[in-house]
Amino acid sequence: MNPTNCKYTKDHEWARIEGKIAIIGISEFASKQLGDVVFVDVPQVGTELVKGKTLGVVESVKTVSDIFAPLSGKVIERNAALEGEPAKVNEDPFGSGWMIKIELSDPGEVSDLMDVKEYEEHCAHSEH
Amino acid sequence: MKILEPLLFELSVDGRRGYTLPKLDIPESDPADLLPATYIRKELKLPSISEIDCVRHFTRLSRLNYCVDVGFYPLGSCTMKYNPKINEDMARLPGFANLHPYQSEGTVQGALALMHFLEHAICEITGMDACTLQPAAGAHGELTGLMIIKAYHDRKRNKTKTKILIPDAGHGTNPASAALCGYQVVSLHTDARGGVDLNDLRAHLAPDVAGLMLTNPNTLGLFDENIEEIARLVHSVDGLLYYDGANLNAIMGWTRPGDMGFDVVHVNLHKTFSTPHGGGGPGSGPVGVKKHLAEFLPSPKVTFDGKKFKIVRKCKGSIGPVRSFLGSFGVLVRAWTYIVSLGGAGLKDVSSHAVLNANYMMRRLQKRYALPYDRHCKHEFVLSGKPFAEKGVKTLDIAKRLLDEGFHAPTIYFPLIVEEAIMIEPTETESKRTMDEFIEVMLRIADEAVNTPEKLKAAPIKTPVGRLDEATAARKPDLNYFKGRGSPPGNASV
């Protein structure tokens, strides 16, 4: 189930916004489409992200995909556990499979993201 | 980690030699008098070992390798068929093997004749009118073919052509080639029978479509029954139809891309026409085209005026050279040998047996593995390891377990549209006995997946190395062998 307290992008990233901070990961839909994740590459703390630009890379047994920044801001924390256990992205995409925490540079961008209802409609459309 | 084989540097002992030079029979000169000082080295950091140690080192390494001459190699989409040794004999004929690309035309008439006849054979097999042998691999052929498509639209000054349609079952190289050629890639859905979804094709059909790339049979091993309608639709907007020849092994002598309506085709000599591949090549991906595209083929071209073969360098309308010289010539000799030694009827038999073998294996394996598209397949088929998901067993575990049983693993996780995909291509050269052995092992592994899944999770245990972390090895390669082992032994330095 997609948590209601997250916002989503059409590329299947999620962001949980807490004040000026956002926690970012990829959705369960994305992790299922990718298959078993074997490598996650996320930016170092301090990196400035621009909304819509590549944030990092996730590699699965099937494919290698870019992850796009759902929002702009500075990386203040990264999930180091993913280096040793990338499978967390499959097991708990909205929990221990989170990727980075950023400090928002433009909180106004949040309104561009989809809420859970819109996102689930988008997913239903993406499946075939 | 256990050391499988020491490096030559570790085998090195100062003063040991694998050669003796004959006595100098010319006046000795000092290299310092002949070469600039910057090129003179006092010490050569090369390993010093005896001939037998060197021979054993490389022979031991070669025995760690698995190849089609050792065992069954059911790698789908790759057509890893046996390469008859007569192909090798012909490629080693001194008249072919010792050629130099700068030799004059008059001294290479035999080689040019072989290329000329091979072009004709490829045109005959694919139903095309003209052909280039230059591209060095399948993906290179794709790029060449797309450049020809682009040249066609450019010639018509049609600037609206910006998109290439590619079914979601296509090879990953298709969108890569189209993007490299400057086209926008549009993915088409696959229908319930495993073919191109015609409604989706119609929905994307517009004047901006430059072409459609199709593998037929596709990567599910299924022949697209609507190919004539697909061709009609694509041509109705002046789009061109590109045939990815990776699966030509399924249809040789039975039907031809040209007869299906394709305008451009690449074939993989290293797959269908039985020349060695894997491990980086060399491959060969000739491109055939219909008459209306012939002028765009790469230059230089080999021509024949009835008396002499010529290399024509200036060709009007050509997209220009796509490779140095005229192609992977050694591969061309092997492919030509294969084609003429089998003949037309033989090639038709190749496809019959490839298809028969695949259907036999599919029907037996279907009893324990999921078969997402249940219809007669062509030369390969795609199963799914999904039934074992509840035991925590993945397709990867099944593939790794096969290694313990002495088989090369099939292609896994491709095509992308099948979950936990296992793609098997036996090829025509395998006997029923070999296929039965593989099937029995696959059925036993299915039992293990249910009863002792931990056995699959631990596999492989019999191979020289166990399960490797390939993703980290590729992304964070540790290239210093001596890190953590102290300095290199002997006189070596790296």
Residue of B nearest to A36 (CA): B394
Q: With a cut of 50, say whether residue B492 has pLDDT above it.
A: no
Helices B329-365/B109-126 angle, 10° precision? 30
Instruction: Report d(CA B178, CA B198) in Å as an integer.
Output: 21
Q: Which of A39, A41, A61 sits opposite B413 (nearest CB)?
A: A61
Name which of B450, B390, B397, B392 is nearest B422 in CA terms. B397
Q: How far apart are CA B214 and CA B171, in angstroms?
A: 9
Tell me which residue in A39, A61, A62 faces B475 most closely, judged by beta carbons.
Answer: A39
pLDDT at B494: 42
Neighbours of B312 (CB within 10 A): 11
Inter-chain residue contact A59 with B472, CB threshold 8 Å: no
B69 vs A: CB within 8 A: no
List strands edge to edge, sheet with B209-215: B130-132, B287-289, B264-267, B240-245, B209-215, B163-167, B184-188
Residues of B in contact with A61 (CB under 8 A): 394-396, 412-413
Residue of B nearest to A126 (CA): B189
The CATH architecture to which B345-468 belongs is Alpha-Beta Complex (3.90)
Q: Which residues of B touch A128 (CB under 8 A)?
A: 189
Inter-chain touch A36–B396, beta carbons under 8 Å = yes
Q: At what angle do helices B395-404 and B432-451 cross, to 10 degrees?
A: 120
Count of CB atoms situated within 10 Å of the CB of A40: 26
In a domain, A49, yes or no: yes
Q: Which residue on chain B is closest to A37 by alpha carbon?
A: B471
Phi/psi for A105 (5° steps) reads -95, -20
Residue A83 predicted with pLDDT over 80: yes
Point out the least confidently predicted range of B277-281, B366-370, B386-390, B490-494: B490-494
Which residue type sits at B475?
R
**Inter-residue contact B230 to B224 (CB < 8 Å):** yes
Token pair in block for residue B13: 């002992």
The pLDDT mean for chain B works out to: 94
How close B416 gets to chain A, by Cα (Å)? Answer: 7
Q: Collect all residues of chain B within an 8 Å Cβ-Cβ radius of residue A39.
A: 471-472, 475
Please give the residue of chain A at the shortest CA–CA distance from B419: A35
Is residue A1 assigned to a domain?
Answer: no
Q: What is the pLDDT of residues B382-424, one digit of tens each?
A: 999 999 999 999 999 999 999 999 999 999 999 999 999 999 9
pLDDT for the residue A107: 93
Residue of A nearest to B422 (CA): A62
Interface size, chain A vs chain B, as Cβ–Cβ contacts under 8 Å: 25
Average pLDDT over residues A19-47: 94
The answer to whether B470 contacts A38, with C-beta atoms less than 8 Å apart, is: yes
Name beta bridge partners: B312.
Answer: B301
How far B418 CA sits from the closest chain A CA (Å)?
10
User: What CA–CA distance (Å, rounded) separates B492 from B47?
Assistant: 6
**Is the residue at A2 inside a domain?**
no
- pLDDT tier, B17 (very low <50, low <70, confident <90, very high otherwise): confident
Chain A residues near residue B410 by CB distance under 8 angstroms: none
Q: What ranges do the domains of chain B cover?
A: 1-64+469-494, 85-341, 345-468
B339 CB-side CA count, 13 A? 24
**Chain A contact residues (CB < 8 Å to B):** 35-36, 38-39, 41, 59, 61-63, 86, 128
Q: Which residues pair with A75 in a beta bridge?
A: A102
CB contact under 8 A, B412 and A61: yes
Per-residue pLDDT tens over the stretch B315-358: 999 999 999 999 999 999 999 999 999 999 999 999 999 999 99
Report the alpha-carbon angle B357-B363-B364, nearest 5: 90
Among residues A75, A82, A83, which one has the least CA distance to residue A45?
A: A75
Does residue A45 lie in a domain region? yes
Residue B280's pLDDT band, with cuts at 50, 70 and 90, is low
**Contact (CB<8Å) A62/B396:** no
Nearest to B125 by CA among B218, B255, B274: B255
CB of B99 within 8 Å of any CB in chain A?
A: no
Query: Structurally, how many domains does chain A consist of?
Result: 1
- Assess: ipTM above 0.90: no
* Structural domain containing residue A101: 7-126
- Over 80: is that where the pLDDT of A123 sits? yes
Q: What is the per-residue pLDDT for A11?
A: 94
User: What Rg value do the Cα atoms of chain B yield, rounded?
Assistant: 26
Closest-CA residue in chain A for B474? A39
**Cβ contact, residue pair A35, B475, below 8 Å:** no
Q: Return the amino acid letter for A123.
A: C
Q: Do A41 and B189 touch (CB under 8 A)?
A: no
Q: What top-level class would CATH report for the domain B85-341? A: alpha beta
- Among left, alpha and beta (phi > 0; psi -120 to 50; other), residue B406 is left
User: Which pLDDT does position B491 carry in this prediction?
Assistant: 46
Token pair listed for B191: 């229908």
Please report the sign of the dihedral spanned by the C-alpha atoms of residue B318, residue B319, residue B324, residue B326: negative
In angstroms, rounded to a whole number, what is the distance separating the alpha carbons of residues B9 and B115? 44
Name residues 194-213 of chain B within 8 A of A (Cβ): none
Lowest mean pLDDT among B2-11, B29-38, B290-299: B2-11
User: Is A23 within 8 Å of A13 (Cβ atoms)?
Assistant: no
Q: Please provide the DSSP assignment of B191-203 as one string.
A: -TTSSB-HHHHHH
pLDDT in tens, B142-172: 999 999 999 999 999 999 999 999 999 999 9
Which residues of B are less than 8 Å from A35 in CB distance?
A: 413, 419-420
Q: CATH number, domain at A116?
A: 2.40.50.100
Q: Report yes or no on A43 lying in a domain.
A: yes
Q: What is the mean pLDDT of residues B179-205?
A: 97
Identify the closest residue of chain A to B392 by CA–CA distance: A36
Q: Which residue, B227, B240, B83, is CA-closest to B156? A: B240
- Could you tell me the pTM of the whole model? 0.90
